[in-house]
């Protein structure tokens, strides 16, 4: 009798939990599909802006792992991790992935042009701000990257690394 009761409880529990497991599996599948569409969107935005789609994809991966709901402790928002003032200046909604990716690609193209094709400097400006790049260059000249915050140095290294997965 106890065995039958136990088997009955297991069957009821499994029936109750099955929809939850199914929903989790569907969510993971749709999350993967969504990330894939964001990657495609990022690559297209980079191409349209005239920057490397590969590097821009790595940059957004580093920024938010393609999570449009990402919020950093510093207050950076969305898939491209814009500070609110920067997003306002660009006229974009940082929580809208399409707007944010187009805005980020445009901003990177602008920085890349400003720094005469020095993509490391463009990345540093995106991550730490153009003022940080100017200060680093003023203080350290040709060794300017060493004068950037450690987080920004790592950011540049990870994105420009050929071994990046």
Task: Indicate whether 93 pLDDT > 90.
Answer: yes
In this predicted model, what pLDDT tens digit does every residue of 136-146 receive, in sequence order?
A: 999 999 999 99
17 vs 12: CA distance, rounded Å: 9
For all residues of the chain together, what is the average pLDDT?
87
Q: What is the Cα 85 distance to its own chain's centre?
A: 18
pTM value?
0.80
Task: Indicate whether 10 pLDDT > 50.
Answer: no
Q: What is the pLDDT of residue 80?
A: 99
63 counts as catalytic: yes
Maximum separation of any 2 CA atoms in the chain, in Å: 83
Catalytic residue among 63, 98, 151, 162: 63
In this predicted model, what pLDDT tens digit does every residue of 126-165 receive, in sequence order?
A: 999 999 999 999 999 999 999 999 999 999 999 999 765 5
Does the structural domain 2-114 have CATH classification 1.10.530.10? yes
């Amino acid at each position: 009798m106890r065995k039958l009761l136990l088997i009955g409880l297991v069957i009821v529990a499994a029936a109750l939990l099955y929809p939850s497991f199914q929903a989790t599996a569907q969510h993971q599948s749709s999350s993967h599909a969504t990330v894939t569409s964001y990657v495609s969107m990022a690559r297209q935005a980079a191409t349209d802006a005239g920057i490397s789609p590969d590097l821009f994809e790595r940059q957004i991966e580093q920024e938010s792992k393609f999570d449009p709901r990402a919020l950093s402790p510093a207050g950076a928002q969305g898939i491209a991790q814009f500070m609110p003032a920067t997003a306002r200046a660009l006229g974009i909604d940082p929580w809208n992935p399409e707007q944010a990716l187009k805005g980020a690609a445009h901003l990177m193209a602008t920085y890349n042009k400003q720094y005469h094709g020095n993509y490391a400097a463009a990345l540093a400006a995106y991550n730490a701000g153009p003022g940080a790049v100017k200060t680093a260059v003023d203080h350290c000249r040709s060794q300017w990257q060493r004068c950037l915050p450690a987080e920004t140095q790592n950011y540049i290294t990870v994105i420009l690394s050929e071994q990046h997965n």
